[in-house]
Amino acid sequence: MPAVSKKGLSMPESPIRKLVPYAEKAYKANKTVFHLNIGQPDIKSPQIAMDAVTSHNLEILAYTRSEGSELYRNKIAGYFQKHNINVTGDEIIVTTGGSEALLFAMGSIADTDDEIIIPEPFYANYNGFATASGINIVPVNSKIEDNFALPPIEEFEKLITPKTKAILICNPGNPTGYLYSKEEIQKLAKIVKKHDLFLVADEVYREFTYDGAKHYSILEEESLVENAIVIDSVSKRYSMCGARIGCLVTKNKEVLKTALKFAQARLSPPTFAQIASEAALQTPQSYFDDVIVEYKERRDTLVKHLEEIPGVKVGHPKGAFYCIAQLPVKNSDDFAQWLLESFDVDGATIMVAPAAGFYSTPGVGKNQIRIAYVLNTESLIKAVHILKEALKVYKD
């Protein structure tokens, strides 16, 4: 039999999806499963975006330009300008989700065996994108005790080698919910300038900040014109994960020129989805205000109930819709599987994401899980109750 590639064999399995077969067994056993494992919001997509797709008058569903439709790019620039980010349409490449923007960014700035430093825990699919691009991720550990704040800048400096091409951050963070302050971004700006590196910021959760905290984009840092690359997406902002639209934003002309070649190779981002995303830009601020109130309530409920469970430690999220919880278990992979296979409260159980897959240092995060608070508060309360009861009887 012909063999698959070594690269393919080294592609990591998604820590979020690998428990799916056990969840399916739980459904077959007629259990209700509360999904705390995946960031698929239950919030309705803006009606205006849905209407734009149903009321179109296209006769041919054609390709758009590889960098995305000009009209849409100019309108996204308008969105960024409202957020204090001074970019033009030609500094934006529309992509098939933030995922493709991450792949284009890695492909444009790093060669095989080059290194990208990322604070861990980080969005697990960075591992997959790095493997696909032949790049090595070098983790710098952030800690639950500090709410996953930026590790001391000396820790980054220690890890910089001639192969280091970039520092990548996720702000606000998935899975940590941490929101980097302006001061932290400025510390990163200083170090990437000093060592001539790129600073890539995955800002797909930009709108999701709580307690009056304001998101500070790396593109607001004027010193970073040549260094900053922002990854953006409509998936979470408008609860339009299935649209598959994102973008890469940079003022660095060489990066734009290079990323465009990757974009040309796949011809075009999806046309209908650009129509929906362009319409979504008209979403009124009141939509976000309501969504933020809802997520904040969910976060507060989740954290309060988690902290009531003996032995559980929670990282307090200031943004996005995830948090990391440290549990009194040795191996959360086994615990998560056991929850689906062997435990229920009145026929209901929970699916969580074991956190070890969000770290790249072996062995770290084994007693942690990531919880996505994408369920309504009533379901969250039930789900945390199940966790509490499970921890009373679980033995590792």
Ligand X SMILES: Cc1ncc(COP(=O)(O)O)c(C=O)c1O
Q: Give residues in contact with ligand X (CB under 6 A).
A: 39, 97-99, 123, 170, 174, 202, 204, 233, 235, 241, 246
Give 173 or 386: the residue with its C-beta nearer to ligand X: 173
DSSP-assigned letter for residue 64: -
371 vs 147: CA distance, rounded Å: 15
Instruction: Give me the least distance between CB of 102 and ligand X, in Å please.
Output: 6
Q: What is the sign, positive or negative, of the torsion defined by CA atoms of 146, 149, 153, 154?
A: positive
Instruction: Give me the least distance between CB of 14 and ligand X, in Å please.
Output: 11
Cα→Cα distances 372→173, 201, 301, Å = 12, 21, 13
Q: Which of 130, 134, 105 is nearest to 201 (CA)?
A: 105
Instruction: Give me the least distance between CB of 200 and ligand X, in Å please.
Output: 11
Give 15 or 246: the residue with its C-beta nearer to ligand X: 246
For residue 186, the one-letter residue type is Q
Instruction: Give me the least distance between CB of 236 and ligand X, in Å please.
Output: 7
Residue owning tokens 């797909």: 204
Give 97 or 177: the residue with its C-beta nearer to ligand X: 97
Instruction: Give me the least distance between CB of 97 and ligand X, in Å please.
Output: 3
Q: Which residue is nearest to ligand X (CB)?
A: 97
- The CB density around residue 113, as the number of other CB atoms within 10 Å, is 9
8 A C-beta contact, residue 134 and residue 7: yes
Give 209 or 349: the residue with its C-beta nearer to ligand X: 209
Instruction: Give me the least distance between CB of 343 and ligand X, in Å please.
Output: 27
- Tokens found for residue 178: 């941490």
Q: Which of 384, 118, 51, 104 is nearest to 256 (CA)?
A: 104
Instruction: Give me the least distance between CB of 204 and ligand X, in Å please.
Output: 5
Instruction: Give me the least distance between CB of 203 and ligand X, in Å please.
Output: 9
* Segment holding 293, helix H or strand E: helix 285-307
110: left (phi over 0), alpha (psi -120 to 50) or beta: beta
Give 87 or 170: the residue with its C-beta nearer to ligand X: 170
- Tokens found for residue 128: 């997959």
67 vs 60: CA distance, rounded Å: 19
Q: Which of 282, 352, 292, 344 is nearest to 324 (CA)?
A: 352
274 vs 148: CA distance, rounded Å: 35
96 vs 263: CA distance, rounded Å: 10
Give 89 or 97: the residue with its C-beta nearer to ligand X: 97
Give 45 or 349: the residue with its C-beta nearer to ligand X: 45
Give 43 or 160: the residue with its C-beta nearer to ligand X: 43
Give 31 or 237: the residue with its C-beta nearer to ligand X: 237
8 A C-beta contact, residue 270 and residue 127: no
Give 115 or 202: the residue with its C-beta nearer to ligand X: 202
Instruction: Give me the least distance between CB of 241 and ligand X, in Å please.
Output: 5
* Spacing of C-alpha 112 from chain mean position: 24
Instruction: Give me the least distance between CB of 225 and ligand X, in Å please.
Output: 23
